[in-house]
Structure 1
């Protein structure tokens, strides 16, 4: 079973993603801030990370940079899932090491499609 780390500080958003992805057959690991997200990625080695950008303690940009700088987690795809949908924000997320970008509010179909694209053999 493919496992996805959801790094999101808002419970409602975590629940929506958790319900959607578990129903699609994925295992879920959760973290509520950037630092815990980095630690969970190092410990759990998920197949994909869905990373909010506006996070307490460490924002998603810094968390993505740290994950991509660490040889143990560099290979894990990181998708920024954010309400930052201003011009240039996608470029900033990609520059920080994110492999994809989804603006909130997102369509469940779009999230599932992106996850399946990034984890094709799931």
Structure 2
């Protein structure tokens, strides 16, 4: 069986799309719709990868990532940021907080899946590259 992936995203259509794409690729997928639920879910069962939206209710993705990197048992978990905020300042902040990769919405399913597979294999996406479209 594939990897365990947690999606933290509050847009149902995006969750449905990611769930379909990732389960078809053989992964186990769970999804939450708030930042605080993401933190709670990761503490209950550490996934192999977190797909994290920045604009989440309750606790935004920046805060989730900062807290995640501060917890020894979760600090090395691969995190891919999903964001509609593609400005350079936002990308730089994500990198400073420890994101492994980021993809801007809307994204190419093929590109997103290849980046997910690379992170699951222990790689890091090219942080200086332009985010996917």
Q: Same fold (TM over 0.5)?
A: yes
Distance in 1 (CA, whole Å) between partners of 2:46 and 2:117 is 18
Larger RCO: 1 or 2 (CA < 8 Å, sep 6+): 1
Distance in 2 (CA, whole Å) between partners of 1:72 and 1:60 is 19
**Structure 2 unpaired stretches of 5+:** 123-133
Aligned 1:1-122 pairs, distance under 5 A: 1-120=2-121
Distance in 2 (CA, whole Å) between partners of 1:41 and 1:89 is 24
TM-score, length basis structure 1: 0.95
Provide the alpha-carbon RMSD of the alignment: 1.1
Which segments of structure 1 move beyond 6 Å, counting only runs of 4 or more?
none
TM-score, length basis structure 2: 0.87
Give 1:71 shift.
0.8
Distance in 2 (CA, whole Å) between partners of 1:38 and 1:99 is 18
What is the number of residues matched between the two proteins?
A: 121
